[in-house]
A and B are shown apart, each in its own frame.
Chain A
Amino acid sequence: MTVPSTSTTTGPATGADAAGAAAPARVIAEMASVRKDYGNVQALRGVDLQVRAGEVLALLGPNGAGKTTSVGLLLGLLKPTAGSVTLFGGDPEGAAAKMRTGAMLQISGVPATLKVREHLELFASYYPAPLPIARALELADLGEVAERPYGKLSGGQKQRVHFALALVGNPDLLFLDEPTTGMDVGARRAFWQQVRAFIGSGRTVVLTTHYLEEADALADRIVVIDHGRVIAEGAPSDIKSRTAGRRIHAVTRLEPELIRSLPGVVSVERSGAALDILATDAEPVVLEMLQRDGELRDLEVGGAGLEDAFLALTGNGAEAARAGGRA
C-alpha cells in the first residue's frame, strides 16, 4: 500500500487536511516545492515533505541524495532557493520553534575540555523545560562517563553525547541526521533501543539514514530521496518489499539487450567479462538464462545493496509508486 505522494498538494484534498488540523496527523514541519542549489549543484529539485505530529519519519537515500540538505532547511540552517519551509507553523529560525526542537547533526565534536555533564548542563539551560541531567545521561547511556571530559571519550560515547545534547532540551521534535554512521552493528542496535526509549511518549522524529534496516527498525513512514527528489514514500514494509531485489552475476554469451527484455529484470550492466543483472526475482531470470546459454558460468546470486534498491525505485519502481500513489 502506498501513501499518496505529497506532490499532489495543489489538490483540494490538502485544504481538507489543513482544516482538520486538530486531528493527530497535524503537520508540524513542512517543505513545499523546495529547491536548493549550491552554485550549479542542485541539491533538492522540488521536494514536498510533511512531518506529522507523533510520527517517526525516515528520510532514506544514498549519500548526496539531499537528506542532510533537507534537515538543514527544516532547522533553518539553510535557506531554500525556491519554495517554503515551515517548522511548527512558523519560521524555522525562530526561537519558539527552536525551543521545541532537538538535533543530532553530523558534527565532528564539541569542546574537548568540558565534561559530559557540563555540556548537558549548558545545553539544558537553553530550553524552557529541559530533562533532568540525570535522565538525559541515563537515556543516552552516559552515566558512567558523566564526569569525563568529552575529549577523553571513545567514538561511540561521543556519538551518544551528541544524542544526549539533542534530547536534553526535552524536544517535541527530534532530528537525527545519520545518527549511526560509523557505529558497529552492536552499537547501532543499542542506539536504536535508546531512540525508542526516548520517543516512546508521542514525540516526533525525523531520521535520515542510508541504511534501510535502520529506517525499518525505527520509522513509521519512509520517504526515499535520491538526486534531490522524493522517489518513493510509504510504510517500511511497503518500501522493503519494493527494494527486495536480487543481484545476479554471471559470465554469459547472451546479449544484455536480451536479458533486459526478460520479465523481472531491472537493469543489466557489463562488469568485465561478466554481466551484473538486477532483478526483482532471481530464480526465473537465472532459469531462463541457463536454458538459453548452456555455457553460462561463474554464476553468483546475492541480495541487492541499497544502491541497487534505489536503482529499482528510480527505474520502473518509481513509476509503479507514482501509479500506486494516484490510484
Chain B
Amino acid sequence: MTASTARTDEAALPKRNLARLYLLEAKFEFLKLWRLRGYSVSTLVFPLMFYLIFGATFGRFTTQGIRVATYLMVSYAAVGVINAAVFAFGAGVAAERGQGWMMLKRVSPMPPSAYFVAKTVMAMLFSALVLVILTVTAYLMQGVHLAAGAWLELLGVLVAGVIPFAAMGLMFGYALGPNSAPTVLNLVNLPMAFASGLYIPLDQLPPLIQHIAVYLPAYHFAQLALSTIHADAIGSVAGHLTALAAFTAVFGFVAVRAYRRDEGRTYG
C-alpha cells in the first residue's frame, strides 16, 4: 500500500553531500534570475530609478520626522524586497510549474525544502543588493548617512521581509498560470506599494488611501523598516509584526490550498 507520508530519514539513505546540494540549488537559483533581465532589472534598477527621480524632487522635504531623501531610500528598498520575493516565488513558481520543471524536481531525490530555501536565500541576496545600491546612491546624491547599527538593523528587517512576500508570491504562483502570473503580480504589486506609501510618503497621499494602507502588508513592512532609522512611527512595532505574521499565515494557507488543488493536474 502506498503510504502518503514518505519521510525517509536522511541518515538511512545513501550518502550525498547535502550542504553542497543546498549551496548549488541557491547558487543556480541566483544565477538563473540574475541572468533574467526582466527580473534583475526590475528588482535592482527600478528602485534606483525611482530614487533618482523622486529623491531629487522631494528629497529636501520632511515626512514622519525624517528627510524625504532618507524615507525614500528605505521605502524604495522595501519596493525592491517586495519585487524580489513576489516575483521569484509568484512568477517563478508559476513558470516552473507550467514548464514541468517542478514535476522533474519532484521525481528527483531533491529534498523539497532545497527549492524553497534556494528561492528565499536568493530573494534575500537581491534584497541586500537593493539596499546597498540605494544606500550608496542616497549618500552620494543627498548626503543621507545612517549609523552603522541602524543600517544593519534596517538590513535585517528588509531581508526578513522576504518571508511574508515569499508567501504572497507562492499563493499567486500556485493559483495562477504561467502566462497570467507576471501581469497579475504587477497589477497587485504596484497599487499595493503605492497605497502603502512606498512611492510617495503616506502623509502626502489622500486620507482615503491612508485608511486603506493599514490593510496592506507592504504598509506594515515599510513602517517596520522606517522604525529602524528612528522615523516617527505610525503604529507600534508589535502591531506591524503581528499584522505581517497574520498576512504570512493567510498567504501560506491559501498557497497550500492552491498547491493541493493543483497537484493532480500539473503534478505540482
Q: Which of B96-104, B146-154, B211-219, B232-240 sits within the interface?
A: B96-104
Whether A99 contacts B109 in the complex (CB less than 8 A), given A91-B3, A113-B31, comes out as yes
What is the CB-to-nearest-CB distance from B35 to chain A, in angstroms, rounded to a whole number? 4
Is A113 a contact partner of B35 (Cβ separation < 8 A)? yes
3 closest residue pairs by CB, A with B: A107-B100, A128-B14, A93-B6
26 A–B contact pairs at CB < 8 A?
Answer: A77-B268, A78-B267, A79-B4, A80-B2, A86-B2, A91-B6, A92-B2, A95-B6, A96-B8, A96-B12, A98-B107, A98-B108, A98-B109, A99-B13, A101-B107, A105-B107, A107-B103, A108-B99, A111-B99, A113-B32, A114-B35, A125-B21, A126-B21, A126-B108, A127-B16, A128-B13
- Residues in A whose Cβ lies below 8 Å from that of B267: 72, 77-78
Contact pick for B103, options A98, A105, A122, CB 8 Å? A105
- Residues in A whose Cβ lies below 8 Å from that of B16: 99, 125-128
B140 at interface (Cβ–Cβ under 8 A)?
A: no
Is B13 a contact partner of A95 (Cβ separation < 8 A)? yes
Tell me the bound Cα distance from A233 to B13 in angstroms: 35
Tell me the bound Cα distance from A125 to B264 in angstroms: 28
Whether A125 contacts B24 in the complex (CB less than 8 A), given A108-B99, A110-B99, A114-B31, comes out as yes
Whether A94 contacts B6 in the complex (CB less than 8 A), given A78-B264, A125-B24, comes out as yes
- Residues in A whose Cβ lies below 8 Å from that of B108: 98, 103, 123, 126, 169
Tell me the bound Cα distance from A84 to B99 in angstroms: 29
Is A91 a contact partner of B2 (Cβ separation < 8 A)? yes
Tell me the bound Cα distance from A111 to B34 in angstroms: 12
- Residues in B whose Cβ lies below 8 Å from that of A121: 24, 28
A263 at interface (Cβ–Cβ under 8 A)?
A: no
Kindly report which residue of chain A lies nearest to residue B3, judged by CB atoms: A91
B204 at interface (Cβ–Cβ under 8 A)?
A: no
Contact pick for A125, options B20, B98, B100, CB 8 Å? B20
Contact pick for A126, options B28, B96, B110, B268, CB 8 Å? B110
Is A79 a contact partner of B15 (Cβ separation < 8 A)? no
Whether A95 contacts B36 in the complex (CB less than 8 A), given A78-B264, A84-B2, A122-B28, comes out as no
Tell me the bound Cα distance from A149 to B34 in angstroms: 13
Query: Which residues B122-160 have CB closer than 8 A to chain A?
Result: none
A118 at interface (Cβ–Cβ under 8 A)?
A: yes
B113 at interface (Cβ–Cβ under 8 A)?
A: no
Whether A85 contacts B104 in the complex (CB less than 8 A), given A121-B24, A125-B21, comes out as no
- Residues in A whose Cβ lies below 8 Å from that of B31: 113-114, 118
Q: Which of B14, B21, B108 has the most CB of A within 10 A?
A: B108
B106 at interface (Cβ–Cβ under 8 A)?
A: yes
- Chain B residues with CB under 8 Å of chain A are 1-4, 6, 8, 10, 12-17, 20-21, 24-25, 28, 31-33, 35-36, 96, 98-101, 103-104, 106-111, 264, 267-268
Kindly report which residue of chain A lies nearest to residue B21, judged by CB atoms: A125
Query: Knowing that A96-B14, A121-B28 are A-B contacts, what are 15 other residue pairs whose CB atoms are under 8 Å apart, sorted by A's residue number?
Result: A72-B267, A75-B107, A84-B2, A94-B6, A95-B111, A98-B107, A98-B108, A103-B107, A105-B107, A108-B98, A109-B99, A111-B99, A113-B32, A114-B35, A125-B17
Tell me the bound Cα distance from A312 to B204 in angstroms: 78
- Chain A residues with CB under 8 Å of chain B are 38, 72, 75-80, 84-86, 91-96, 98-99, 101, 103, 105-111, 113-114, 118, 121-123, 125-129, 149, 162, 165, 169
Tell me the bound Cα distance from A34 to B112 in angstroms: 27
Is B32 a contact partner of A114 (Cβ separation < 8 A)? yes
- Residues in B whose Cβ lies below 8 Å from that of A103: 104, 107-108
Tell me the bound Cα distance from A72 to B98 in angstroms: 17
Tell me the bound Cα distance from A128 to B17 in angstroms: 8
Tell me the bound Cα distance from A127 to B20 in angstroms: 11
Is B107 a contact partner of A99 (Cβ separation < 8 A)? no
What is the CB-to-nearest-CB distance from B33 to chain A, in angstroms, rounded to a whole number? 8
- Residues in B whose Cβ lies below 8 Å from that of A91: 2-3, 6
Is B106 a contact partner of A127 (Cβ separation < 8 A)? no
- Residues in B whose Cβ lies below 8 Å from that of A105: 100, 103-104, 107
Q: Which of A110, A162, A169 has the most CB of B within 10 A?
A: A110
- Residues in A whose Cβ lies below 8 Å from that of B28: 114, 118, 121-122
Tell me the bound Cα distance from A129 to B8 in angstroms: 18
Is B99 a contact partner of A128 (Cβ separation < 8 A)? no
Is B25 a contact partner of A84 (Cβ separation < 8 A)? no
Q: Which of A80, A109, A129 has the most CB of B within 10 A?
A: A109
Contact pick for B101, options A84, A109, A118, A149, CB 8 Å? A109
Is A111 a contact partner of B101 (Cβ separation < 8 A)? yes
What is the CB-to-nearest-CB distance from B148 to chain A, in angstroms, rounded to a whole number? 36
Tell me the bound Cα distance from A86 to B3 in angstroms: 10
What is the CB-to-nearest-CB distance from A82 to chain B, in angstroms, rounded to a whole number? 11
Tell me the bound Cα distance from A181 to B205 in angstroms: 57
What is the CB-to-nearest-CB distance from A147 to chain B, in angstroms, rounded to a whole number? 13
Tell me the bound Cα distance from A38 to B104 in angstroms: 21
Tell me the bound Cα distance from A101 to B15 in angstroms: 16
- Residues in A whose Cβ lies below 8 Å from that of B264: 38, 78
- Residues in B whose Cβ lies below 8 Å from that of A92: 2
Tell me the bound Cα distance from A234 to B33 in angstroms: 49
- Residues in A whose Cβ lies below 8 Å from that of B3: 91
Is B25 a contact partner of A107 (Cβ separation < 8 A)? no
- Residues in B whose Cβ lies below 8 Å from that of A111: 32, 96, 99, 101
- Residues in B whose Cβ lies below 8 Å from that of A109: 99-101
